[in-house]
Structure 1
Amino acid sequence: MAISSSLSLSCWVSTAIPDKFHCTELPRAITAHFSCKSITCSGESASIDESHCKRRSLLLGVGALTTSLLHANSLFAQEIPEKFRAFVDKVDGYSYYYPNDWRDFEFRAHDSAFKDRYMQLHNVRVRFLPTNKTDIHDLGPMEQVVTDLVRHKLAAPNQYATIFGVEEKSIDGKNYYTIEYGLASPNFATTSFATIAIGNGRYYTLIVGANERRWKRYRNQLKVVADSFRMLDI
């Protein structure tokens, strides 16, 4: 798929760029095509091997990348949306945006995570597992992959899972699925987006969500986060 974009340099740093950094003006690209499907399923128990995932310390950066790095990845093609920041992890090969008033926190078995200061269920987190696959299409049919993810990885034994839709996009030859789904238990319910992709020998999963009662109000904001996830070449 051919992706057209324009390059702009809206902020500056020295050539010594931290491996993990935040920026409020890092450019972005968001060109994609979509195909949507709906699935409903019941929650099942799941266990995820967490030994290969670890939370790393964050290095804060101010400014942006040099011109040579801007040409290296389509993440840098346009400006970051207002009221968002970029988190870039050059070591682990991924980046995404998050609301600029969220703060980082430790989320078990995840590599990075940010949350709203006041609403604990309002957060984004990223994890990855090693894989010998090279693309999400290698996992099998999309419906099967998405159903397995939600039922066996994301839903707890006492939760009922509903998948509202799936979007597929391809950017710079890298493929991504973004799933909108809800998890309901006797005590609370949440709605979330999960973006998954495979690259760098890793199966990446970004999840961003909120309490079900707040979903309608914040959905558009959280969709920006879900759509912003990019794999970087490492």
Structure 2
Amino acid sequence: MAISSFSLSWASTTLSQKLNVPGSNEILPRVAAFSGNNSVTCTAEATFNEESNCKRRRLLLLGVGALTTSLVPANFLFAEEVPKNYSSFVDFEDGYSYNYPSDWIDFDFRGHDSAFKDRTKQLQNVRVRFIPTEKKDIHELGPMEEAIYFLVKHRYAAPNQVPTIYSMQEKTVDGKNYYTFEYELTSPNYSSVSFATIAIANGRFYTLIVGANERRWRRYRSQLKVVADSFKVLDI
């Protein structure tokens, strides 16, 4: 696995739009999910009525944990050990997986395919979304520094927020390329810090974001970095 890391003070250069995708509200629907003791899994084998993504997941979480062993390939679940105090979320239908703190709870984050949050610290959460793209790899977005600057400045930050990028990292896992970067968004009354991991596969641009209030970031940064580094895209 080749890994290269970069640090970047805020740049003043601009970048034309890199993503060849439709509007952000065009999110592909998920199919279903179920949970075992240490994982939440989505698969095409199960079908449900037309309800919200979160409600469908919660219905399944109530009583079908035993299905995990029979439907999830053992070699996938045990290829990489889930860290202590974390659980895994695997979506075979939509082609991605990640780990999250095991005491976090599932919730519906508008416009996202899956999300989990801390039970008491509402602003500490992880969420994943994907949108269609004709690109095949994140390298097609352009140089890493420029692509990440564009995303943070023009996609993640609101008009009243000042963005700061702290670090960037590129890695390749099983032939798939990922960018992971740490950034802060500061508004007049509030600041948050996040890690984002992005990848392109299956004709989709995937984004995982995990973050917390700026005041808690130093305490929880290492825990949240585990989540960002665990994100993987799967072939579908």
Q: Does the Cα contact within 8 Å between 1:54 and 1:110 map onto a contact in 2?
A: no
* 1:33 and 2:3 are equivalent in the alignment: yes
Aligned-pair distance for 1:34? 2.8
Aligned-pair distance for 1:50? 1.1
Aligned-pair distance for 1:49? 2.1
| SS of corresponding position for 1:147 | helix
| Aligned-partner Cα distance in 2 for 1:95–1:183 | 26
1:65/1:174 Cα in 2 relative to 1: closer, same or farther (>3 Å)? farther
Aligned-pair distance for 1:136? 0.2
Q: Structure 1-normalised TM-score? A: 0.78
| CA RMSD of superposed structures (Å) | 2.5
Q: 5 Å matches for 1:84-233? A: 84-233=86-235
Aligned-pair distance for 1:53? 4.5
Gaps of 5+ in 2: 15-21, 31-52
Aligned-pair distance for 1:51? 1.9
Letter in 2 for 1:120: Q
Q: 1:180-219, CA deviations, whole angstroms, 9 ceiling, x for partnerless residues?
A: 0000001110010000000010000000000001001000
Q: Does the Cα contact within 8 Å between 1:41 and 1:161 map onto a contact in 2?
A: no
| Aligned-partner Cα distance in 1 for 2:203–2:9 | 28
Q: 1:100-147, CA deviations, whole angstroms, 9 ceiling, x for partnerless residues?
A: 110011111000000011111100000001001110001111111100
1:41/1:62 Cα in 2 relative to 1: closer, same or farther (>3 Å)? farther
Aligned-pair distance for 1:69? 3.3
Q: 5 Å matches for 1:68-83? A: 69-71=73-75, 76-83=78-85
Q: Does the Cα contact within 8 Å between 2:27 and 2:112 map onto a contact in 1?
A: no
Gaps of 5+ in 1: 4-31
Aligned-pair distance for 1:76? 4.1
Letter in 2 for 1:49: S
| SS of corresponding position for 2:89 | strand
Q: Structure 2-normalised TM-score? A: 0.77
Fraction of identical pairs, as percent: 58
Letter in 2 for 1:192: S
Letter in 1 for 2:103: D
Match of 1:50 in 2: 25
Aligned-pair distance for 1:54? 4.6
